[in-house]
Structure 1
């Protein structure tokens, strides 16, 4: 299975998808229009090793909710991602049982290698 969790309104997500040249071989899930389910986040966690690895600390609400000053558990990270889509580090690519999280150049290069 090849899937990408992204935001259609995020220019970074769109740039990366375009740069990778991926098409209809991927299932696209716009996380703003189609919320992540508990099953999906649990599946991602199983591949990533923790919910924290999926959590974005650059989300606007991270500072607004004062989360930077709190000690969060793995369950807290899970709950925040399920409550607010912006807490998912994006884009997330799932390619044949492997997960690639975020938009770092290293991660994009790893996705490019996985799909070639």
Structure 2
């Protein structure tokens, strides 16, 4: 399976998608218009090891709600990601059982390298 969860209005996501060779082989899911399901999130968590690893602390709502000062649990991370798409670190790519989370240059390089090898 090759799938990318992204936000089509996000410039960073678009830039990353444009760098991926054979993008037409991926299933793309815009998480704003087609929200992730609990089952999809569970699959991501199983591949990544935790909900926290999928959670974006850059989300505007993270700051607005003062979540930095709260001791969030794995269940909190799960509920927040399911509640609002901005809490998912984007993009998330799943390629043949491997997961690539976020937009760090290292993550993007690994994702692209995996497509060209």
TM-score in same-fold range (> 0.5): yes
Distance in 2 separating the partners of 1:67 and 1:21: 37
Output one character per residue of 1:28-81: Cα deviation in whole Å (capped at 9) or x when no partner.
000000010000000000000000000000000001011000000001000000
* TM-score of the aligned structures, taking structure 2 as reference length: 0.97
What does 1:71-82 correspond to in 2, within 5 Å? 71-82=71-82
Distance in 2 separating the partners of 1:111 and 1:24: 15
**Given the alignment of the two structures, is residue 69 of structure 1 paired with residue 69 of structure 2, yes or no?**
yes
Structure 1 residue matching 2:29: 3-state secondary structure: strand
Output one character per residue of 1:59-115: Cα deviation in whole Å (capped at 9) or x when no partner.
000010110000000010000000000000000000001000000000001001111
For structure 1, list consecutive stretches of 5 or more residues without a partner in the other structure: none
Distance in 1 separating the partners of 2:53 and 2:114: 20
For structure 2, list consecutive stretches of 5 or more residues without a partner in the other structure: none
Structure 2 residue matching 1:42: 3-state secondary structure: helix
Matched pairs, number: 116
Distance in 2 separating the partners of 1:8 and 1:48: 23
Q: Which residue of the partner structure matches residue 111 of structure 2?
A: 111
Distance in 2 separating the partners of 1:23 and 1:103: 17
Distance in 2 separating the partners of 1:95 and 1:60: 29
* TM-score of the aligned structures, taking structure 1 as reference length: 0.98
Q: Write out the 4+ residue segments of structure 1 that deviate beyond 3 Å after TM superposition.
A: none
Aligned-CA RMSD value: 0.7
Distance in 2 separating the partners of 1:47 and 1:5: 14
Q: Which residue of the partner structure matches residue 42 of structure 1?
A: 42
